[in-house]
Amino acid sequence: MNRRNLLVLLGGKAIAWPLAVSAQQARVPTIGILVFETSGSEDFRRQFEMSLRELGYIDGQTVRFEFRSDQRTSRLSELAAELVRLNVDVIVAWLTPAAQAAKQATRDIPIVMLAGNPVETGLVESLARPGGNVTGTAAVGAELSRKCVELIRDLLPSVHRVAALVNTPDPFSKFFIENIRLGGKANGITIDDFMLHGAEELEPTFALMEKDRADAVIVQPTLGLKRSAELALKTRIPAVSIIREFVEDGGLMSYSGIEAELYRRTAAFVDKILKGAKPADIPVEQPTKFELVINLKTAKALGLTIPERMVDRADEVIE
């Protein structure tokens, strides 16, 4: 090979090498985030992205986010299919309807869920061996709804009837109401079921509960926390849910897993998967710490005096 040809060859390699490096540097993983939209969804997104940042995943630099959300389960299926078409590296699904939509959309892309009763709703085969492409955190929301009945009794000793607002299209609803009924039986409280088909039925349902004089109500989160809290105040019905944001929106009380910790664990699942772990090999986790939050401002608006022992028992009190 003569000197001229050697220089041309070397020059071509010198040009090609930086281009190859540049292409490698440009490739960052894409995380699809699919959320059943309710008042806690923005807080989830903020804390989840912050947790990823702590692990070195910075939006626009070391990772790219594709965020999709809606309150309609039919629309969630469309959004999940959109994320699949974008060929994201992993889908994070918040709440059961989003996790179900993601699983129906793909068997190949890893899914990290934060959803209630994933074994019973068919999201995973078992907690220890999830199988398939789904893993994450089982939020034990059904069990928490049973605990809410006990907490209502402690908060309002004279309680006799508790209403349960159930979002029928949500696959989690079956286990939500079953556990509330168990809680009612254990505590000698009558449970009135209201099987709703969406947030648009909230207002007439609260009007009916006001007429029937329900002592308290437990709200399934996917019905809409903020609107439920507003209507509970308007109709002067003490309202409880299993997501902390409900109390921040004006609900009387919540009992839930510590959400900041749940979101940190969700980020840790994503980190493992992006580093090569398979969802089928990562056991599903359950929360081990829970928090009771009471809104004293709401209690005052409802004309309630919260027992001192309940105030002392609360992990946080909003005044």
- Report the alpha-carbon distance of residue 167 to residue 164 in Å, rounded: 10
pLDDT tens for the chain, 319 residues long, are 554 454 444 454 444 444 444 444 557 999 999 998 876 788 889 999 999 999 999 999 999 999 999 988 889 999 999 999 999 999 999 999 999 999 999 999 999 999 988 998 899 999 999 999 999 999 877 889 999 999 999 999 999 999 999 999 988 899 999 999 999 999 999 999 999 998 899 999 999 999 998 999 999 998 988 999 999 999 999 999 999 999 999 999 999 988 889 999 999 999 999 999 999 999 999 998 899 999 999 999 999 999 999 999 999 999 8
**Domain range holding 268?**
28-140+258-289
Give the pLDDT of residue 26: 56
Task: Note whether 298 and 160 are same-domain residues.
Answer: yes
Task: Note whether 174 and 212 are same-domain residues.
Answer: yes
Asked if residue 230 is part of any domain, the answer here is yes
Query: Residue 77 belongs to a domain with what CATH number?
Result: 3.40.50.2300
Task: Note whether 182 and 265 are same-domain residues.
Answer: no
Give the pLDDT of residue 38: 77
Asked if residue 264 is part of any domain, the answer here is yes
pTM of the model: 0.81
Asked if residue 15 is part of any domain, the answer here is no
Asked if residue 5 is part of any domain, the answer here is no
User: What pLDDT, in 10s, does the model give residues 101-132?
Assistant: 999 999 999 999 999 889 988 999 999 999 99
Task: Note whether 269 and 220 are same-domain residues.
Answer: no
- DSSP string over the chain: --HHHHHHHHHHHHHHHHHHHHHHHH---EEEEEEE-STTHHHHHHHHHHHHHHTT--BTTTBEEEEEEES-HHHHHHHHHHHHHTT-SEEEEESHHHHHHHHHH-SSS-EEEEES-TTTTTS-S-SS---TTEEEEE--HHHHHHHHHHHHHHH-TT--EEEEEEETTSTTHHHHHHHHHHHHHHHT-EEEEEEESSGGGHHHHHHHHHHHT-SEEEE-GGG-HHHHHHHHHHHT--EEESSTHHHHTT-SEEEEE-HHHHHHHHHHHHHHHHTT--GGGSPPB----EEEEEEHHHHHHTT----HHHHHH-SEEE-
